[in-house]
């Protein structure tokens, strides 16, 4: 992919946004248990500083969530890495649906690893900014849509993987209907303060969830923002 092959000076970064800053973040993620080299490699190359406002760029390689406006956040790099690792562990999905585009960072990570990425965001302004970033980075295997992602994206189903980056009380069955039989769905589930990151895969008697640990995500909301 393009930006990776030949990064612009802006994408390459300087000082707090330089390759050294990215490398330090990767060392930290490794120390904190992220082991998949494919994921570490993408995070090492993807300029996270382009996914936050300029005023926050110097903090882009801290392992922390950051505000992106509209009361939303770009997820913590460790969480992005963990979710991506869990998503591709058994098979690299050819077709992925992300619900909650936000800054576009998680979608860009997925686009670097998977065949085709579909991402849905309910807040138009966030989606506009994310699309500008996708264009700037030359990401072509990604389609985005302004909609309520609770409904999935039925026109492009079935997906090999579905990832929610906002937390609901439960996963709506409508999303499982859009998942391939050998697919995987990853979602933060539960009320603020007690959310668990769950990975669903097909078992003998339906979809079975495995917990990947405690997390803290913004809420999955209904309707358009």
Rule CB under 6 A: which residues touch ligand SAH? 72-75, 99-100, 102-103, 105-106, 120-123, 126, 148-150, 165-166, 218, 220-222, 225
158 in Cβ contact with 183 (< 8 Å):
yes
Q: How far is the CB of 89 from ligand SAH (least distance, A)?
A: 19
Q: CB-wise, 209 or 221, nearer to ligand SAH?
A: 221
Q: How far is the CB of 21 from ligand SAH (least distance, A)?
A: 19
Exposure b/e, 144-155, CB count within 10 A at least 16 = b: bebbbbbebbee
Q: Which one, 182 or 192, has the nearer CB to ligand SAH?
A: 192
The answer to whether 52 and 81 are in contact (CB under 8 A) is no
Supply the minimum distance, in Å, between the C-beta of residue 216 and ligand SAH.
11
Q: Which residue is nearest to ligand SAH (CB)?
A: 102
For 94, residues 6+ apart whose C-beta sits below 8 A from its C-beta are: 114, 115, 116, 160
CB nearer to ligand SAH: pick between 202 and 225: 225
Is 75 a residue of the active site? Answer: yes
Quick check: 159 and 96 in contact, CB under 8 A? yes
Q: Which of 75, 103, 144, 211 is catalytic?
A: 75
> Phi and psi (nearest 5°) for 161?
-155, 145
Distance CA 41, CA 86 (A): 16
Q: Judged by CB, which is closer to ligand SAH: 174, or 203?
A: 174
For residue 203, the minimal CB distance to ligand SAH (Å) is 27
The catalytic residues are: 75
């Amino acid at each position: 992919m393009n930006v990776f092959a030949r990064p612009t000076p802006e994408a390459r970064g300087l000082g707090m946004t330089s390759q050294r800053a990215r490398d330090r973040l990767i060392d930290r993620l490794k120390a904190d248990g992220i082991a998949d080299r494919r994921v570490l490699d993408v995070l090492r190359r993807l300029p996270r500083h382009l996914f936050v406002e300029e005023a926050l760029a110097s903090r882009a390689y801290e392992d922390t969530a950051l505000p992106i406006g509209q009361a939303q956040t770009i997820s913590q790099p460790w969480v992005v890495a963990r979710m991506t690792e869990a998503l591709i562990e058994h098979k690299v999905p050819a077709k992925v649906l992300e619900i909650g585009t936000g800054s576009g960072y998680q979608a860009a990570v997925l686009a670097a690893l998977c065949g085709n990425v579909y991402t849905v965001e309910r807040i138009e302004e966030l989606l506009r900014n994310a699309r500008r970033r996708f264009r700037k980075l030359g990401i072509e295997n990604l389609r985005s849509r302004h909609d309520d992602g609770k409904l999935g994206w039925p026109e492009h189903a079935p997906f090999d993987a579905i990832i929610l980056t906002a937390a609901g009380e439960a996963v709506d069955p409508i999303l499982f209907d859009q998942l391939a039989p050998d697919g995987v769905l990853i979602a933060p589930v539960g009320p603020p303060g007690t959310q668990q990151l769950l990975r669903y895969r097909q078992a003998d008697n339906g979809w079975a969830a495995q917990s990947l640990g405690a997390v803290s995500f913004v809420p999955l909301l209904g309707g358009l923002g």
